[in-house]
Structure 1
Amino acid sequence: METPRHKAATSERDVPQGDRVREFVEQYRFIIAHSRESRYRAYALRHKVFREELEYTLGDDVDTPFEKDAHDKHSILCLLHHVGSDRDAGCLRVVLPIDNDGQPRTLPLEESCAHGLTHPRLHPDRFERSSLCEVSRLAVHPDFRRTRECALGLREQDLQPLEENRLPPPSPLVTLSLFLAATAIVGLSGRRHVFSMMEPRFARLLKISGLAFRQVGDVIDYCGPRAAYYIDQHQAERDLQSSLRPLYRHIRTSLAPQVERTSPFV
């Protein structure tokens, strides 16, 4: 007789990819935070994860329950909203180094770890500011991830299905979908050259999905051991695992009309 445990394992492996994407699409919505209210929802989620849970000293005013800084004024903020519970499951931001008046600005990592940017060619100074951006403040609410070891809760075993061209179960898919959304937003905003600060082990995990970030700086102590990474958005789209492409197309299509009206920043 088949045990319940065996049934669960069998059904997990045999879920058709189209059904898994459909399930995710029905459960989650990506929302570009245009309004003050939605942007402060992102700040509140970041405060919960980065300050309360991980005890990072991020943001300008640590005495408020909102983690935000000056770069948010020039960023596209995005929320991942869980429809069934009416709660925000995750968030991210794409920092654009040009202000509302069209004046160039520095990326956050150019301020926080300029000494750690060591690659001779893949340095922000090597590109036009209008083609640059930085992806940061990716966070998943602890109720929507399997582990509390980091803000995104992604483990190597969670991504093993991708190596067999299968989608992972919903929990790690929440994390991966944030990176897919970031990739889509970067492209939709007319950017190509993407920088991000992350742990080396996390960059290795993302490579399994096809998002092959290149390390362009030394590992430094910045909320733990992190280094600057770079990825070409065009290449990222081409290299995505085939199992992730249907979900990526859905995310990009749903975000396109929202990104078009992302101005001015609040």
Structure 2
Amino acid sequence: METPHPKSNPSERGMPQGDRVREFLEQYRFVIARSRESRYRAYALRHKVFREELRYALGEDTGTPFEKDAHDKHSILCLLHHTGSDRDAGCLRVVLPIGNDGQPRSLPLEESCAHGLTDPQLHPDRFEHSSLCEVSRLAVHPDFRRTRDCALGLRENDLQLLEENRLLPPSPLVTLSLFLAATAIVGLAGRRHVFAMMEPRFARLLKISGLEFRRVGDVIDYCGPRAAYYIDQHQAERGLQSSLRPLYRHIKTSLAPQMLGAAHT
């Protein structure tokens, strides 16, 4: 059963004061998917976005409406739930390369995109497995996206409009909050060295937000043009834009009680 999430209080000290941010905190909550039911909700959302909409050949058991693979067994899955409609707006996973049996495992990108890992200093095999993880399968339901041309649906000018507090829904905070949640989960799981496969244009957009991923591989064709990126979780927390830090603290505080034991399930 999921740990109950405390209701957001927009007047809480240190909480962002923009109207859109307050609305976001009132309408959305993060849930660590621990139960079978909640994990299959994440798989169903991934199936809808990656397979049905974007036509990516991902996961196993392609005849089922659930996109999942072997790495999900040793991953922390997280859902972003829209409370008003009782629907899941987004999801992500943090893959831990040590399974429940304690044996080291490869990161997904080491298996599927090994030829694209070209930085000799920032390669997964340069780090202790216990400090490594990979963020992947970030997806936003099309009804909660700013644009439908990618699984995350965010454009550079959305960030400027957000700063000016003049955006109409859906909020770009849906997408940005998934990356903030991933950063928090990585830290709460005791990991530091984070890898991800993403489009270069999205890495540039995240840099504007203060999440400065470093490209560590060539751009290859992997569900479109993508490259391997790396970020140090400690630096990610320090580098966040000041306007996002209160939101990040709120997300991290809400996830902390749900994370107890999650890295070992």
Contact 1:166 1:243 in 2 (8 A): no
Alignment partners' CA distance in 1, 2:236 and 2:263: 26
Contact 2:18 2:165 in 1 (8 A): no
Look up the SS of the partner of 2:218 in the other structure.
coil
Q: Which residue of 1 aligns with 2:196?
A: 196
* AA of the residue aligned to 1:80: L
Alignment partners' CA distance in 2, 1:30 and 1:230: 24
Q: Which residue of 1 aligns with 2:111?
A: 111
Total equivalences in the alignment: 249
Q: Give the deviation of 1:21 after TM superposition.
A: 2.9
Q: Give the deviation of 1:110 after TM superposition.
A: 0.1
Runs of 4+ in 1 over 4 A off after TM superposition: 164-170
Q: How does 1:1-20 map to 2 (within 5 A)?
A: 17-20=17-20
Contact 1:159 1:168 in 2 (8 A): no
1:186 lines up with 2:183 in the alignment: no
1:168 and 1:128, CA in 2 relative to 1: closer, same or farther beyond 3 A?
A: farther
Q: Give the deviation of 1:19 after TM superposition.
A: 4.0
Q: Give the deviation of 1:260 after TM superposition.
A: 1.1
Q: Give the deviation of 1:22 after TM superposition.
A: 2.5
Q: Give the deviation of 1:156 after TM superposition.
A: 1.1
Contact 2:50 2:151 in 1 (8 A): yes
Q: Which residue of 1 aligns with 2:230?
A: 230
Q: Deviations over 1:52-78 (max 9, x none)?
A: 000001001110000000000000000
Look up the SS of the partner of 1:186 in the other structure.
helix
Contact 1:45 1:91 in 2 (8 A): yes
Q: Which residue of 1 aligns with 2:94?
A: 94
Q: Which residue of 2 aligns with 1:75?
A: 75
Q: Give the deviation of 1:25 after TM superposition.
A: 1.2
1:234 and 1:168, CA in 2 relative to 1: closer, same or farther beyond 3 A?
A: farther
Q: Which residue of 2 aligns with 1:42?
A: 42
Q: Give the deviation of 1:263 after TM superposition.
A: 5.5
* AA of the residue aligned to 1:101: D
* AA of the residue aligned to 1:187: G
Q: Deviations over 1:163-219 (max 9, x none)?
A: x68796652110000000000000000000000000001100000000000000000
| Greater per-residue helix proportion | 1
Greater displacement, 174-183 / 21-30: 21-30
1:32 lines up with 2:32 in the alignment: yes
Contact 1:165 1:243 in 2 (8 A): no
Alignment partners' CA distance in 1, 2:167 and 2:264: 37
Look up the SS of the partner of 1:39 in the other structure.
helix
Q: How does 1:207-218 map to 2 (within 5 A)?
A: 207-218=207-218
Greater displacement, 22-31 / 182-191: 22-31
Alignment partners' CA distance in 1, 2:241 and 2:62: 39
Alignment partners' CA distance in 1, 2:161 and 2:84: 26
Q: Deviations over 1:77-128 (max 9, x none)?
A: 0000000000000000000000001110000000001111000100000000
The structure with the larger Rg is 1
Q: Which residue of 2 aligns with 1:221?
A: 221
Greater displacement, 214-223 / 18-27: 18-27
* AA of the residue aligned to 2:125: D
1:147 lines up with 2:151 in the alignment: no
Alignment partners' CA distance in 1, 2:21 and 2:102: 39
| Identical-pair percentage | 86
* AA of the residue aligned to 2:91: C
Q: Which residue of 1 aligns with 2:63?
A: 63
Alignment partners' CA distance in 1, 2:263 and 2:173: 29
1:167 and 1:261, CA in 2 relative to 1: closer, same or farther beyond 3 A?
A: farther
Q: TM-score, normalised by structure 1?
A: 0.90
Q: Give the deviation of 1:24 after TM superposition.
A: 1.2
1:137 lines up with 2:128 in the alignment: no
Q: Which residue of 1 aligns with 2:6?
A: none
Gaps of at least 5 residues in structure 2 are 1-15
* AA of the residue aligned to 1:208: I
Alignment partners' CA distance in 2, 1:171 and 1:66: 26
Alignment partners' CA distance in 1, 2:161 and 2:212: 17
1:167 and 1:199, CA in 2 relative to 1: closer, same or farther beyond 3 A?
A: farther
Q: Which residue of 2 aligns with 1:121?
A: 121
1:190 and 1:167, CA in 2 relative to 1: closer, same or farther beyond 3 A?
A: farther
